[in-house]
Amino acid sequence: MTHDLTPAPADPFRALHPAGGVAALPATPWVVPPGTTERDSLNLSLVLDAVRRHWRSIVTAGLVAGSFGWAFASLLPAKYQAVALVRVDGDGLGILEEDKRAPTQYVDPVRVQSWVQALTGLSVLRAAVDAAGLRYYPEFNGALASAGKSGQKSQSPVLPSEDGMSAAERTTLAGLVGALSVTQLGQSGVAEIAVRTSDPWMAARTANAIGEAFIEEQILTARGRRLQALDALTMQRDELSDRLRGLEQNIVRVRSGSKLVFGETSDVAGDVYANIRQQLIVSESDLSAATAKRQIIDRARTAGSGAGELTNVAFSELIQALRQKRAQAYVELAEAGEVFGPRHPEYLKKQESLNKIDRSIDQELNSLSSTVRNEERVLQTKVDKLRQRMQDVQSEAVEGTGSRVQLARLQTEAEGTKTSLNTLDTQIDAIETAVGLEQSAASFVSRAVAPDAPIYPKKPDYRGGVFRWCRLCFPVHRHPRAPRPQDRHHEPSQILRGDRGLSGRCRIAVTARRRGAGQCQHGLGLRAHPARSGDDPQYRFKWHGKRCCDPTAGG
């Protein structure tokens, strides 16, 4: 047994209270045990020292992990993603540009989100499954079966139960929902439909089928609303037709059961009453005119011949002639007064002539007053008789008053019903003409195309990353070769992009590399090699030493 002879640290209590009968021990510093390091003393030099001692283990672990990761990525099944853009609201992609944003381009985010959710609705997905033929595709048929065999809980969303949906259809729909992603593109009214499958053509066809199914569902929804409105208007028209027939039957019944004699459109008593009322209106108007004349004549008689009231007696030509003659005599009398004086015989003669005209005017006014009064009495008598006749007609038709009122009400209601029927017929004809011409507010901004390369795993990138790390860890000196004429005039990247006008069946996905590496639409690694002869070089695209396609030769 070994004993640690390192002195213990000083007791702070004893150091502060040495008078307790115990001598205070001297304080000693803390000694770090051999083979260990203090936590506060860890620095970069120690870390570098540890890395220097264990670099072989670190490099080996990195290489092993990278190898396992590269092998795992190489063994993963390829997944292709196709994207289709569908405008569901607003003006599409133009709203993404801030300088073009206008108040009329406002997109309601709640409305857009509702349309985005509608893109993943059950009816849209079922139509897309039928259009794209997914039920015959093994990837979607085995989506739930593989999860059940593995004993794991399925991560597919729970689809709503519906009568008539088979288990295979539910399995296909679950697989489609797992491979589908629908999001709003920025702040615009465009929805991005992304589908990931192991077949690029199936991914593109499914994305386009979902967009087309959504557009078709909108058209069918608009058509359904129009048909519902048509059914409602048709039912309303039928109700109005039945009501009109009932009104016509009531009109016939009232006409046949009344004691009055009715014609085609009105009764005889009603015609007599209307005729008497028209005569009464004319007589009352004449009576008012005669009363006005009498009042004018009375005012002229009261004011005298020299007053201006004679001007209002315009209905008497004799009065107007005497008024003018009196005015001329009055002027002559004034002139005689100035020339001869008031006592001269000529003046007195003019005075007598003026008095004679005044007497004639008074006589004419009296005669007119008597005539107008007689006329007024006659008209008053006529008005009284007409009013009495109206009362007699009303008293004779007392028994038919209720029938006439009822008949008038029924006729008015029938006319209103006919007008409503005509309006409904016009609306129904317009809707029937528009049925089948519905259009959807949604449209494709861009359709999905088959992707050239998978989204994962990106095997060329993995291989290239490993090779680059190997070259970084183990650098190899290479002598730069002299540039060749074809390199100066024809870059491999230009040939791969098709800038030289070359064409072929394979579409090249260029990665900007000096050596011209890329992929064709089948995911094959390609490399451009110049020809060995000829002034105009020909480029061949090879894969593992085998010819894939020749763009210059047409594929």
Tens-level pLDDT at each residue, the chain (555 residues): 444 445 555 555 444 445 544 444 454 555 555 555 555 566 888 888 888 888 888 999 989 888 888 777 777 778 889 999 998 876 555 444 444 444 455 677 788 888 888 888 888 888 888 888 887 776 776 544 444 444 444 334 445 455 567 787 888 888 888 889 899 888 788 889 999 988 889 889 999 999 999 999 989 888 888 899 899 999 999 999 999 998 898 888 887 765 444 444 445 666 777 888 888 888 888 888 888 777 777 777 676 655 556 665 656 677 777 777 777 777 777 777 777 777 778 878 878 877 887 777 777 778 777 888 888 888 888 888 888 888 877 766 655 566 777 888 888 889 989 999 999 999 999 888 888 888 888 889 889 898 888 887 665 555 555 555 555 555 544 444 555 444 443 333 343 333 333 333 333 333 333 334 444 444 444 444 443 333 333 333 333 333 344 443 343
Tell me whether strands 190-197 and 80-87 are parallel, antiparallel or unpaired. Answer: antiparallel
Cα gap 93→104, rounded to integer Å: 14
Cα gap 504→527, rounded to integer Å: 15
Alpha helix locations (H) across 435-546? Answer: 459-473, 485-489, 492-497
3-state helix, strand, coil in the chain (%, to 5): 60, 10, 30
| pLDDT in the model for residue 193 | 92
Global pTM reads: 0.45
* 188 and 93 Cβ atoms separated by less than 8 Å: yes
Dihedral through CA 197, CA 199, CA 205, CA 211, nearest 10?
A: 20
| pLDDT in the model for residue 287 | 83
| pLDDT in the model for residue 16 | 47
Q: How many CA atoms lie within 13 A of 496 on its CB side?
A: 24
| Residue 190 DSSP SS3 | strand
Cα gap 173→18, rounded to integer Å: 87
Place of tokens 């490993």: 466
Cα gap 146→77, rounded to integer Å: 15
* 403 and 201 Cβ atoms separated by less than 8 Å: no
* 439 and 231 Cβ atoms separated by less than 8 Å: no
| pLDDT in the model for residue 273 | 77
| pLDDT in the model for residue 261 | 45
| pLDDT in the model for residue 210 | 92
| pLDDT in the model for residue 85 | 92
Burial 34-62 (b: 16+ CB within 10 A, else e): eeeeeeeeeeeeeeeeeeeeeeeeeeeee
